[in-house]
Structure 1
């Protein structure tokens, strides 16, 4: 079968999926929260049963990351996230203010089209399916070609669980004939209400061009700033644990370390103790040529690989206890691969005179790549923490925590999510850790509490009116003659 035939099949399938989803969602829109919750409970418990098997499958199919950490993420969404959302009121009357006589009604947006990255295919799929059904929406997935088998398996498990609990057929579905044309058809179809895109930067522009609202969880380039008052041992332990989690492919993960000059030596020592290897200038140069392709994109051969595997690519043989490769850098630029997102356990290391300079360096890094995402600060100084929180172009500032797990809401009380909004800075319309509340419209109900006369207040006399008119005319004249 030639490409054109496959494209046409894919486009046709996309249209059918959206039309079926639209009809299923009409039924779903009438479901009370309790009924939706019952379906979501069954989906989550089934997903949890297969969490380990799907983690192994995902690692084998994509070659990215560590299955043990993927297993943790799969449990995180099917158990921890589930418990967070199970009692949430998302549809129907979700808030009532008796004193002010207002009411909020949650209304599903309709049909959602979801794109998922090959780096986290299972956990992101479970997460999106749960929050979409919880909020009464139909959701159609376009699986990532590199994780097609795994995503097909997880979606079949979720669909079976949901439909046996009463989900209308077609409300949760996915594209089987995967092509770019089919995905575009899903996105721009007249009955598609919202696009929920995580990763897949190649499709981000296409998503925005579809004319639909887009919730985009894009790439991160989060710096970790270690300030002089920090618990340096803990900061080093957090950064290494976070950077090596699933071999560094979570977008909230630290990409660089920025330290104050006065503690740089101590930080270096602590990082080395915990498995950091500082590359020489020559090794840094060789590695940078390998991990960025001529067109500026990251070489897929290093994505989700361990530090040892990456070192071998440049003929560097390292001890088994090396977990992270660190390259000391001075400058930030779009052509310097160390100052961009690196989907593997490599960190850039910058030394600055004081926290003011460190602040500027963090802003430079964030504006260079991954704007609007995440920043982490290790400090005991509340003034500095607040200054950082007020000034940075990010959607999440994490304090004294591993960024990977803090960003997704595992080690912080941020909402547990695998789509981390990057806000207007990152080209999206929400900066939230995306929850079911981002997938509804809120219908406002307001009872009349005042009469028109109350608004008009005191009537001006004729005299007052003409005085006022004269004053306004004089003011206007002065402004025009400035």
Structure 2
């Protein structure tokens, strides 16, 4: 008997979505404190497996550096766990001095989750923690390039969560991998939200589902080095960021724009710190290898070290080369270097002053219409202010490595492995996604003392209402609303 993988996947997706909906009804009755205990249990257990899962990810996907993947896994299990402590997401969120409930957090229900092969472990753990923290069920699809890695990760998560008291079915995964099964899951009536990170090929299907979509986007994020910057520190930050996990972090710098008066000093600093400025022929050779003729990314050129990239393109670089630099002048549809490069490669632009650099950065940000992240290195407050105010971008990072600053590791942004990029209408938020993006807030309007109203508005009765009776009535209504939302 020959099984139809598409049909199996679609049927399995329906079963998982329906089971998740029933399981979430039980989860919705959990107080925040019980959800928090499960989150702690998951994070603590997954921390024990951070190295093992990093090695499995590198072995299966052939993307990135094992040591850096372990750091990302530990970042989620430690830093994110700490950030979630004390955060209230469900139940009463805000009360006034008299004890009246003003805001209530309500879980959305069932979330369909898609994770990238570039970070299959850290993103999966992260989404599981967020879903449990906010009282939601979550159903994952397995990336075809990271099936074994994600299955092992999710088995460990589910085991730890159920042991800590999570109802079975609240975390699950579609083990039969097929595109039609993923589409079936996303459009299933039980699913309330799609949480998609880094898998651009599924974006159209997610948007076609008609469901609210949080899209962890990608894009051509420039870094501007202005003449007043601490040059050596700026270059060190960029080199650290672009070599971290061999350049596959979504917020990592995709190109460098340099203020002309500082260009020679910046170039010298890059060379001293391990960058190699490719010759014109080498630039062409590498460009021809980065993408297929139909525009698809060549997966064998993703997340590998600079010397290997050069060798695959047909040339050699000096020993110790960490980043390949490609000198460019214009932004063009036909230039491979204007696309997101998930590798230690940096296009290099020089502009006469910060205003022209500002225009170049806007041009680069709008090229793929994603507006993900911009980084500026400067000590001029006014220049920094102008970049913050005028760029069509989800987040602006100042004097920090973008790969680390974007996820909140070196900044005060919320620590997150899903960075919203909704400026192109492809998602409902540009936030560093947190549990608060996975709930809706019910706001309560209590009556104020009788206020003067414009003529013709309000009651025509001259008698004052019984305010105490009204408050008692509203107290009862609020309690009933909260009770009904947990059924």
TM class, shorter-length: over 0.9
Q: 1:331-342 to 2 correspondence within 5 Å?
A: 331-342=330-341
* Alignment correspondent of 1:81: 80
After superposition, give the CA deviation of every residue in 1:232-268 in whole Å (9 maximum; x if it has no partner): 0000100001000000001100010000111111100
User: Displacement, 1:370?
Assistant: 5.5
Partners of 1:85 and 1:386 lie apart in 2 by 31
User: Displacement, 1:318?
Assistant: 1.9
* Alignment correspondent of 1:404: 403
Partners of 1:76 and 1:15 lie apart in 2 by 33
Partners of 2:198 and 2:149 lie apart in 1 by 17
Partners of 1:328 and 1:147 lie apart in 2 by 35
CA RMSD across the alignment:
1.4
* Alignment correspondent of 2:160: 161
User: Displacement, 1:96?
Assistant: 1.9
User: Displacement, 1:428?
Assistant: 1.3
Secondary structure of the structure 2 residue equivalent to 1:174? strand
* Alignment correspondent of 1:329: 328
User: Displacement, 1:60?
Assistant: 0.4
Deviation >3 Å, runs of 4+? 97-102
Partners of 1:319 and 1:56 lie apart in 2 by 28
Structure 1 stretches lacking a partner, 5+ long: 460-482
Structure 1 residues 174, 338: closer, same or farther in 2, change over 3 A? same
TM-score of the aligned structures, taking structure 2 as reference length? 0.92
TM-score of the aligned structures, taking structure 1 as reference length? 0.93
After superposition, give the CA deviation of every residue in 1:272-321 in whole Å (9 maximum; x if it has no partner): 00000001111101110111211122211110011010000122122331
After superposition, give the CA deviation of every residue in 1:337-357 in whole Å (9 maximum; x if it has no partner): 111100000000000000000
Secondary structure of the structure 2 residue equivalent to 1:124? helix
* Alignment correspondent of 1:454: 452
Question: Is the contact between residue 370 and residue 426 of structure 1 (CA under 8 Å) also seen in structure 2?
Answer: no
Structure 2 stretches lacking a partner, 5+ long: 458-487
Secondary structure of the structure 1 residue equivalent to 2:113? strand
Partners of 1:416 and 1:58 lie apart in 2 by 22
Question: Is the contact between residue 394 and residue 423 of structure 2 (CA under 8 Å) also seen in structure 1?
Answer: no
Question: Is the contact between residue 370 and residue 423 of structure 2 (CA under 8 Å) also seen in structure 1?
Answer: no
After superposition, give the CA deviation of every residue in 1:414-470 in whole Å (9 maximum; x if it has no partner): 00001101123352111100000000010111111154x7222599xxxxxxxxxxx
* Alignment correspondent of 1:432: 431
Question: Is the contact between residue 340 and residue 365 of structure 1 (CA under 8 Å) also seen in structure 2?
Answer: no
* Alignment correspondent of 2:464: none
Most deviating of 426-435 and 219-228: 426-435
Question: Is the contact between residue 92 and residue 101 of structure 2 (CA under 8 Å) also seen in structure 1?
Answer: no
Q: 1:44-443 to 2 correspondence within 5 Å?
A: 44-98=43-97, 103-369=102-368, 371-425=370-424, 427-443=426-442
User: Displacement, 1:387?
Assistant: 0.3
User: Displacement, 1:271?
Assistant: 0.3
Aligned length: 457
User: Displacement, 1:5?
Assistant: 1.2
